[in-house]
Amino acid sequence: MKKKILLEISVESVEAAAAAERGGADRIELCCDLSVGGLTPDPALIHAVRQQIQIPIFVMIRPRGGDFVYSASEFAEMKNSIAAAKDAGADGLVFGILRPDRSVDIERTREVVALAQPLPVTFHRAFDSCADFSQALEDVSQSGACRILTSGGSASALEGIDNIAMLITVADQVTIVAGAGINMRNILQIAAATGAREFHSGLSSVFPHPPTDYLQFEKEVRAMARRLAVLCE
């Protein structure tokens, strides 16, 4: 049997997290305000989701929307949020920090990766804003983060297929997670073209945030999970 392909679903509520787990998601990315790309959730929400589901919860650490160049006070807030998320039961953390020139802020990233230990870190789609993907990949690898969530620098993973495939080919220290605009209608096409073994979806191309029909949300997750399961047989 081939290695299992993982499906991560981003959510902003207990109800959506539970629906994603029932649908067969392997991991949750927990955020608030997914309409702006996801921000740091309240520790009380992390704890509530942790009490409700069994699959891993990766928590977004992002103090505001907009760019990924943070002030000293915002960086301090991120460090406090990491400590709070760990205390609340997070299984992993998700963040990304850039310099004004759109390169990875490797010093700050390394500092918060160390603070996150022993939890694994995903460098999120701040990566897609980087000017030089090859250098950014090396910088993230050196920071100690173990995953990069990317759409290949495009608005969606479907549009960024070629860059995602390239990154997967050259990455040897980090796992490339394909994400953005992924749903049951395109996930197999993206899997076949990129060779990705981990996928991320917030289903924003299918449902509003937050979703109002959790049964349909669960069914969409299940459809994606079943499609990926075929690739492992």
Give the domain CATH number at 82: 3.20.20.380
Query: How far, in Å, CA of 19 to CA of 214, rounded?
Result: 6
- Residue 216 to residues 16, 132, 183, 188, 207, Cα–Cα distance (Å): 11, 39, 13, 20, 9
- In a domain, residue 219? The reply is yes
- In a domain, residue 1? The reply is no
Tell me the two tokens of residue 34: 């997914």
Structural domain for 128, as ranges: 6-231
- In a domain, residue 180? The reply is yes
Q: Are 118 and 152 a contacting pair, CB within 8 Å?
A: no
- In a domain, residue 11? The reply is yes
Least confident of 32-36, 133-137, 161-165: 32-36
Query: How far, in Å, CA of 44 to CA of 50, rounded?
Result: 10
Q: Which residues pair with 123 in a beta bridge?
A: 95, 148
The model carries a pTM of 0.94
Return the percentage of the chain with pLDDT > 90, whole number: 89
The Cβ of residue 83 has, within 10 Å, a number of other Cβ atoms equal to 12
Give the pLDDT confidence of 100-112 residue by residue, as tens digits.
999 999 999 999 9
Q: Where are the beta strands (DSSP E) in 68-146?
A: 92-95, 121-123
- In a domain, residue 83? The reply is yes
Q: How many domains are there within the chain?
A: 1
pLDDT of residue 65: 94
